[in-house]
Amino acid sequence: MLNNYIIPFIVLFIISYGFFKKCDIYDRFIAGAFDGLKIVLDIIPAILAMILAVNIFVDSGLLLDLFKGSKYAEIFPMIFLRPISGNAALAYLSQVYATHGPDSFLGFLASIIQGATDTTIYVLALYFSSIKIKNSRYALWVGLAADFFGILAAFIVVHFFF
Amino acid sequence: MINKIWFFLIGCGLIYGVFKGIDMGSVFLNSAGEAYSLLVTMVPLIVLWCGIMNIASESGLLHKFSSLLRPFLRKLMPSVKNDKALDYVSSNVAANMLGLGSAATPFGLKAMKELDKENKNKGVATDAMITFLVLNTSGVTIIPMTVIALRMAYQSINPTCIIIPSLIATFISSFSGLLIDYCIRRKNAK
What radius of gyration, in Å, describes the C-alpha atoms of chain B? 21
Name the minimum distance, in Å, from the CA of A120 to any CA of chain B. Answer: 5
Give, as one character, the DSSP assignment of residue B78: T
Name the minimum distance, in Å, from the CA of A48 to any CA of chain B. Answer: 6
Q: Report the C-alpha gap between A126 and B134 in whole angstroms.
A: 14
> Do B119 and B80 contact (CB within 8 A), yes or no?
no
> Do A81 and A58 contact (CB within 8 A), yes or no?
no
Residue A15 lies in a domain: no
pLDDT along chain B (190 residues), means of 10: 87 92 88 88 90 91 92 91 91 87 84 93 93 89 90 94 94 95 91
Average pLDDT over residues A95-102: 93
Tell me how many domains chain A contains. 1
Give the model's pLDDT for residue B70.
Answer: 93
Residue A32 lies in a domain: no
Give the model's pLDDT for residue A15.
Answer: 94
Residue A57 lies in a domain: yes
Residue A60 lies in a domain: yes
- Nearest by CB to residue A142, choosing from B134, B151, B163, is B134
Contact residues, chain A, for B52 at CB < 8 Å: 11, 14-15, 29, 32
Domain boundaries, position A77: 43-161
Give the model's pLDDT for residue A1.
Answer: 66
Q: What is the DSSP string of A109-155?
A: HHHHHHHH---HHHHHHHHHHHTT--B-TTHHHHHHHHHHHHHHHHH
Q: What is the mean pLDDT of chain A?
A: 90
Residue A100 lies in a domain: yes
ipTM: 0.90
Give the model's pLDDT for residue B172.
Answer: 95
Selected for mutation to probe chain B from A37, A57, A75 (highest B CB count within 10 Å) is A57
Among all residues of chain B, which has the CA nearest to that of A19? B59
Residue A24 lies in a domain: no
* Single-letter amino acid, residue A8: P
The distance in angstroms from the start CA to the end CA of chain B is: 37
- The 3-state DSSP composition of chain A as helix, strand, coil percent (nearest 5) reads 80, 0, 20
Using alpha carbons, select from B99, B183, B96 the residue that is nearest to residue A36.
B99
Selected for mutation to probe chain B from A38, A112, A120, A151 (highest B CB count within 10 Å) is A112
Residue A37 lies in a domain: no
Q: pLDDT higher for A66 or B7?
A: B7
Q: Is B34 on the interface with A (CB under 8 A)?
A: yes
Average pLDDT over residues A43-68: 86
